Amino acid sequence: MKQFRTLIVCDSPHHGNTRKVADALAEEFPEITVMTINEARAASLKEYDLVGLASGIYYGSFSKPLLAYAETLPRGTAVFTLYTYGIKRDGYVNRLHEILRTRGCRIIGSYGCPGYDTFGPLKLVGGISKDHPNATDIRLAASFYEHLKK
Ligand SMILES: Cc1cc2nc3c(=O)[nH]c(=O)nc-3n(C[C@H](O)[C@H](O)[C@H](O)COP(=O)(O)O)c2cc1C
């Protein structure tokens, strides 16, 4: 029987916060492979049953390269979205999910948690969401992923 496989495509330029969550998931669930966007563009999606799109939040949305990558996904792809942010707020997923819906992808869930943020003036005060993602953020991400597959 073919093994279930998941690809997480991750763009994490600020502090590697989102990559930390993605890598922790890959460590816990052997069916997960994590790739950068460039690596994913060179790979075949046919090998994967589920695709995770992961990035930090920049100016209220997922990263521009990740939004552009989402535009290339084939119709019917099962997708979950994963993100880290400095300040919790509604709507960070809206733009990405709109792209995915327009492309006919199936959005099966989304998980977000805080990530260390030193953007702009925040640097002067030592940043916010320090020490995130932490062990609890990662445990919740693992439980989110586990429930997705059920
Ligand atoms: C240019 C820039 C813009 C950002 N905009 C937001 C924002 O709109 N909302 C927010 O909560 N965090 C914002 N952040 C903080 C990041 O989302 C947060 O630090 C995230 O964990 C970065 O993920 P990464 O390390 O995986 O790149 C911004 C950070 C940068 C560098």
Q: pLDDT (tens digit, 9 = 90+) per residue, 18-40?
A: 999 999 999 999 999 999 999 99
pLDDT band for position 149 (50/70/90)?
A: confident
User: What are the sequence ranges of the domains in the chain?
Assistant: 6-148
In order of 13, 96, 126, 142, the CA distances from 65 in angstroms are 11, 11, 27, 25
pLDDT band for position 122 (50/70/90)?
A: confident
11 within 8 A of 65, measured Cβ to Cβ = yes
72 within 8 A of 44, measured Cβ to Cβ = no
CATH superfamily to which 6-148 belongs: Flavodoxin domain (3.40.50.360)
**Cβ of 63 less than 6 Å from ligand 1:** no
pLDDT of residue 1: 67
pLDDT band for position 110 (50/70/90)?
A: very high
Task: Determine which residue's CA is closest to atom 22 belonging to ligand 1.
Answer: 56
4 within 8 A of 31, measured Cβ to Cβ = yes
pLDDT of 150 strictly over 90: no
Ligand 1 atom index nearest CA of 19: 26
What integer is the mean pLDDT of 108-112?
98
The residue whose CB lies within 8 Å of the most ligand 1 atoms, and thus the one to mutate among 58, 90, 130, is 58
The Cα–Cα gap between 124 and 147 comes to 40
pLDDT one-digit tens code per residue, 63-97: 999 999 999 999 999 999 999 999 999 999 999 99
The residue whose CB lies within 8 Å of the most ligand 1 atoms, and thus the one to mutate among 117, 131, 132, is 117
The Cα–Cα gap between 18 and 97 comes to 18
What does the DSSP 8-state code read for residue 13?
A: T
pLDDT of residue 126: 83
